[in-house]
Amino acid sequence: MHDDEKTTPTPLLGLSTEELRALVQEEGETAYRGGQLARWLYQHGVRTFEEMSNLPEAFRVRLQDKYRVGRGHVVVCQRSKDGTVKLLLQMADGARVETVGLPYPDRISCCVSTQVGCPIGCAFCATGSSGYTRNLTAGEIVDQVLSVQQSMQGAPAQSGSGPYRVDHVVFMGMGEPLLNYDATVKAIQLLNVEFGIAMRQLTVSTVGFVPGIRRLAQEKPQFTLAVSLHAPTDDLRRRLIPEMTRWGVADIIEACREYVRQTGRRVTFEYCLLENVNDAPAEAGELSRVLHGLNCHVNLIACNPVPGLGFRAPSRERVRAFREVLEDAGIPVTQRLERGSDIDAACGQLRRRATGAGASDSLS
Ligand code: SF4
């Protein structure tokens, strides 16, 4: 058993430097020790108190009696030929989530999960078909970034911030982040302040949870908002995202217009292209109409097919035709490159397979 899996009650990962300073003062130590703790947690990514070598031994023993570090452990690590790393992490209670590291020549990006499973149940998603267990804590979210960072030895070092530092994080893994709003926002703050990742390099992706978008419009955080629309009409969205029918496309777009008005920030719309489902020029035309006049851009993602769910990726020609309709309407479009095609890259696939296989391929 790892040190941080003992049944001591409170994980320290997830607390800010200020909160750690207050905590150590309650333990009779100077606030300075809180700053040291924060550096061990977020800069060094330690897993045990023993590694915190500049803390007095007696203090480490006291900490260990009452707290745990809060790191999960890696159950499965898959590495793609293109450098993509996909991890299955197990939390202290046995819950498992996926996280992905994506090395690029100029940066390392990490895609984190915010929930164990997902209550939304998108028809094309392996996570959605596996049910929902619970929300993750902020500590469990940032733990994914540390684990990706530590698994990326050998990835190309980016310029500026030193080797193997994740410097972009997208909240686009398992779960709907805005259904776990407080932990998501707390994790964003930790990534910004404790990890030093710029706000504009943090992106939260929602499937269109309107109360959450409206709350963001009021609170005006500086991270990037992405909305996974996937369909320009209510009928099609109902088919693809059956648990998110309370708000129609018009409600989502209106909430986004409010967000843009209040924050002055552009919204990204994610659109997963599914062959002969939502990828026809007619749907592209309808999408252009729906987004007309909104400060946004569209990110097209060719479906990463999950066996048994019955969806396929469209041909390049169909993707190009869809893209051209949007661009002709003046909407900026990007296209996400396929990564990790030789591993279980689609969200939820690795967890589903590992659970079915009893996780016998544990690497930890
Ligand atoms: S695509 Fe995202 S929101 Fe939809 S079921 Fe999968 S994890 Fe949940």
pLDDT 10s digits, 192-221: 999 999 999 999 999 999 999 999 999 999
Separation between Cα atoms, residue 270 and residue 278, nearest integer Å: 13
Q: Which CATH architecture has domain 73-356?
A: Alpha-Beta Barrel (3.20)
Residue among 99, 174, 336 to mutate when testing ligand 1 (max atoms within 8 A of CB)? 174
pLDDT at res. 159: 41
pLDDT at res. 345: 58
Residue 92 has a CB neighbour count (10 Å cut-off) of 18
Residue burial 332-360, b: 16+ Cβ < 10 Å; e: rest: ebeeeeebbeebbbbbbbbbbbbeeeeee
pLDDT at res. 359: 30
Cβ of 76 less than 6 Å from ligand 1: no
Residues of the chain with CATH 3.20.20.70: 73-356
Residues of the chain with CATH 1.10.150.530: 3-68
* 2 pLDDT above the threshold of 90: no
Report the CATH number of the 3-68 domain.
Answer: 1.10.150.530
Distance from residue 265's CA to the centre of ligand 1 (Å): 24
pTM to 2 decimal places: 0.91
**Residues pairing with 90 in the sheet:** 73, 96
Q: What is the pLDDT of residues 47-93, one digit of tens each?
A: 999 999 999 999 999 999 999 999 999 999 999 888 899 999 999 99
Distance from residue 230's CA to the centre of ligand 1 (Å): 11
Distance from residue 59's CA to the centre of ligand 1 (Å): 43
